[in-house]
Amino acid sequence: MADNGMRGRVKGLLAGPPHAALEPQAPPEPPMEAKPAPVAQREALQVLTLAQRTAEEHLASANRQADKIHADAQAAAEDIVRDAEAHARDIRDEAADTLDEARATADRIAREAQAQAEAARNEAEEILADARAQAELVAKDAQAKADELKHQAELRYQDVVGSLIVKREGLQQQIEALEQFDRDYRTRLQAFMQSQLRALWVDEPRAGDPEPADPTPLVPAQRTE
C-alpha cells in the first residue's frame, strides 16, 4: 500500500509543478504555517529512491527474461545436436552389420547425418545469436528507461527544492513587511502619545505662575490640531 501511494505521488510530481506556485505574490499578510523544508526534501529523496528502485526492478526483470531466453535456446540447441548424434550412431550401427553395400550406404548416411548435425549446429548458433541480440536490446531498452526515470526524478527533486526556496523568500518578505508595519505603528503611536502629553501639559497650571487678579477662572488654552 505504501509503495502504491508513493508511486501515485511520483506520477503526480512528474505531471508538473502546481500552477499556484507560478501566481504573483499577494500583498503582505500574516505568514502561514508552511511545511518544513527538511520534510519536503526527505519526501523528494524518497521519490528519487522509489524511482531508482523501480528502474532497478525493470532492469532485473529484463535480465531475468534474457537469461531465460538464453537458457531455452541453449537447451533447444543441445537437444537438436544430441538427437542428431544419436540418429547418426544408430545409422552407423546398422551399417556395420552389412557388407560393401551396407558399408557404402552407411558411409553415405553418415555423411548425411554429419551434414544434418552441422546444419543443426549452425541453426543452434543462429538461435543463440538471435537470443543474445534480443537480450542486448531488452537490456539497453531497460537501461534507457531507468536512466530516463532517474533523470525525471532528479528534475522533480530540483523543482521541489526550488519551489520551497521561493516560498521561503515570500514568507520572509511578508515577515519583513509586518516588522516594518510594527515599527511604523509604534512610531506613530509614540508621536501621538507625546502630542497628547504636550496638550495636557499646556492645559494644566504650572507651579510658580502668578495667581490671576480677578476671581474669574482661567480659560484652558485651546488645543492646536
CB 91 within 8 A of CB 113: yes
Q: Dump pLDDT digits (tens) for 110-126.
A: 889 989 998 998 999 99
- pLDDT at position 103 is 82
- pLDDT at position 158 is 82
Residue 222 pLDDT exceeds 70: no
Surface-to-core class of residue 144, CB atoms within 10 Å of its CB (0-12 exposed, 13-18 middle, 19+ buried): exposed
Highest mean pLDDT among 4-18, 57-71, 87-101: 57-71
Can you give the residue ranges of every domain in the chain?
37-203
Grid cell locating 123: 541453426
Grid cell locating 178: 509586518
What single-letter amino acid sits at 156? Answer: R
